[in-house]
């Protein structure tokens, strides 16, 4: 498995125990893979992996799965997870999020993170590609199942943020912990992504929200 411009990538993909090569094999069996009944949280577009790796270390009683479409990106997340010394509660795989119902059983996921996703704002017709478009929210509802679940989102893009607020509200989900400038808010426990650190150092505001589908709003 060769990835250009990263001579170490092939070895990382082959030796890193957190990568799942055939995630469809574990549909309905993810808790068996993790070896426990802990909640499963996924990050769609895990980037270089700092966020999900740090979250897995802070919350050993939660299972985390990082999802990316391209190997050239996820290999950096694998490397980061190894360097940070993550435990057995984090896994990664390469797939398109649109295929998630082929990978997870209904009700198998309890939380979804979308951090600094592509805003797809240059053309109006691209709105359907946004990870908070109603079509994706419909998908998330199926992943959450009848027990419900939560969507946590962060972005530096105001257009995407306002779009997301409207889409989530239109679906009847409850919105909570809305922030127009996260790093100047009173929100506690924030774990930064690589993009977030870069943008905040540039003085850019970070937008954040929590969307709750059929479940109690957390404190």
Question: Which residues are identified as catalytic?
Answer: 118
3-state secondary structure of 149: strand
3-state secondary structure of 167: helix
DSSP 157: -
Look up residue 98 and give its two tokens: 């649109």
Per-residue buried b or exposed e for 87-126, using 16+ beta carbons within 10 Å of the residue's own CB: eebbbbbbbebeebeebbeeebbbbbbbbbbebbeeeeee
Helix (H) and strand (E) counts for the chain?
7, 7
């Amino acid at each position: 498995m060769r990835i250009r411009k990263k001579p170490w990538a092939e070895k990382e993909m082959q030796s890193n125990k957190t990568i799942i090569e055939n995630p469809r094999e574990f549909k309905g069996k993810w808790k068996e893979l993790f070896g426990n009944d802990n909640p499963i949280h996924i990050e769609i577009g895990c980037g270089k992996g700092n966020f999900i790796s740090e979250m897995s270390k802070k919350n050993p009683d939660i299972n985390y799965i990082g999802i990316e479409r391209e190997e050239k990106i996820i290999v950096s997340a694998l490397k980061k997870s190894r360097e940070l010394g993550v435990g057995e509660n984090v896994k990664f795989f390469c797939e398109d999020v649109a295929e998630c119902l082929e990978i997870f059983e209904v009700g198998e996921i309890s939380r979804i993170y979308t951090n600094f996703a592509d805003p797809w704002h240059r053309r109006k017709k691209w709105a359907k590609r946004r990870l908070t478009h109603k079509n994706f929210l419909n998908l998330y509802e199926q992943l959450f199942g009848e027990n419900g679940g939560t969507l946590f989102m962060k972005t530096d893009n105001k257009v995407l943020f306002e779009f997301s607020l409207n889409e989530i509200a239109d679906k009847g989900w409850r919105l909570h912990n809305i922030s127009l400038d996260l790093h100047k808010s009173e929100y506690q426990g924030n774990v930064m992504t690589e993009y977030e650190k870069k943008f905040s150092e540039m003085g850019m505001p970070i937008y954040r929200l929590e969307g709750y589908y059929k479940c109690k709003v957390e404190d």
